[in-house]
Amino acid sequence: MTDLIRGLSIFLVGMMGTGKTTVGQVLAKQLGYRFFDTDVLIERVTQQSISEIFTIQGEEAFRDIESQILMEVCACTKSVIATGGGIVLRPKNWSYLRHGLVIWLDVPTNVLVQRLLLDTTRPLLQETELKPKLETLMDSRKRLYSEADLHISIENAQTPEEIVAQILDRIPLIILPEKASYSVKIEEN
Ligand SMILES: Nc1ncnc2c1ncn2[C@@H]1O[C@H](COP(=O)(O)OP(=O)(O)OP(=O)(O)O)[C@@H](O)[C@H]1O
Ligand SMILES: O=C(O)C1=C[C@@H](O)[C@@H](O)[C@H](O)C1
């Protein structure tokens, strides 16, 4: 597999709670890649939590910082990058995401509700009715997530290791040779 993707980075996109961080860490380990999480990088550079940024500066300011971080991290090869759930919203972000392979982790909303119910830290999910909020977000984003190179539909009982196996099985079917050679050229510079 590492011969096939030759350092090409992998961006995981999808709704909050789909497992981008959990699956991304396992995938990075199996590929011998570094792992980044754009939300974590944002908190590190701003020295603020995502919630604080949303409350104090607002969502647009958060999206600006998110694009800036993505622009920087997309220059890295041999990396798995877990992205924030809304990274697909800005058209400009797609020019950064296209530096690598974009994989959409797609989990049914009822499973996301169970996973996110106990987590009150996500600023876009502060409403009492979590399921309708997630469904509305998903409706407005589904078309964007489906622009990914690879769509991974995840069932409730699948472990992160099983999801990674599914991803690694499917990458050879979609890899574009020119993308992999592009990434090798960056490394040589
Ligand atoms: N395959 C899985 N099976 C069961 N639970 C999972 C699985 N993947 C992730 N989880 C759990 O779901 C929750 C959300 O996972 P994670 O933080 O990896 O999602 P995320 O997509 O990175 O979310 P966000 O974009 O909001 O940061 C965590 O509690 C995690 O342990
Ligand atoms: O889905 C979203 O828009 C978000 C998801 C989180 O990962 C964070 O990036 C932030 O809470 C916004």
Residues 6 or more apart in contact with residue 96 via CB below 8 angstroms? 67, 70, 71, 74
The residue ranges of every structural domain in the chain are: 4-172
Question: Does the annotation flag 32 for ligand binding?
Answer: no
Atom 6 of ligand 2, residue of closest alpha carbon: 84
Residue type for position 155:
E
Quote the tokens at residue 116: 């996110």
Pick the CATH number of 4-172 from 3.40.50.970, 1.20.1730.10, 3.90.50.10, 3.40.50.300: 3.40.50.300
Q: How far is the CA of 99 from the centre of ligand 2 (A)?
A: 21
Give residue-wise pLDDT tens across range 132-179.
989 999 999 999 999 999 999 998 789 999 999 999 999 988 876 565
Question: Does the annotation flag 17 for ligand binding?
Answer: yes
Atom 3 of ligand 2, residue of closest alpha carbon: 86
Question: Does the annotation flag 20 for ligand binding?
Answer: yes
Burial class of residue 143 (count of CB atoms within 10 Å of its CB; 0-12, 13-18, 19+): exposed
Higher pLDDT residue, 183 or 83? 83
- The preferred substitution site among 13, 18, 49, 50 for testing ligand 2, maximizing ligand atoms within 8 Å of CB, is 50
Whether 16 is in the pocket of ligand 1, judged by its Cβ within 6 Å, is: yes
DSSP state of 63: H
| Residue 143: predicted pLDDT | 98
Whether 16 is in the pocket of ligand 2, judged by its Cβ within 6 Å, is: yes
What is the model's pTM? 0.92
Which among 30, 36, 18 has a CA at the least distance from the CA of 164? Answer: 30
Cα four-point dihedral sign 134, 138, 140, 145: positive
Give residue-wise pLDDT tens across range 2-48.
667 889 999 999 999 999 999 999 999 999 999 999 999 999 999 99
- The preferred substitution site among 11, 18, 22 for testing ligand 1, maximizing ligand atoms within 8 Å of CB, is 22
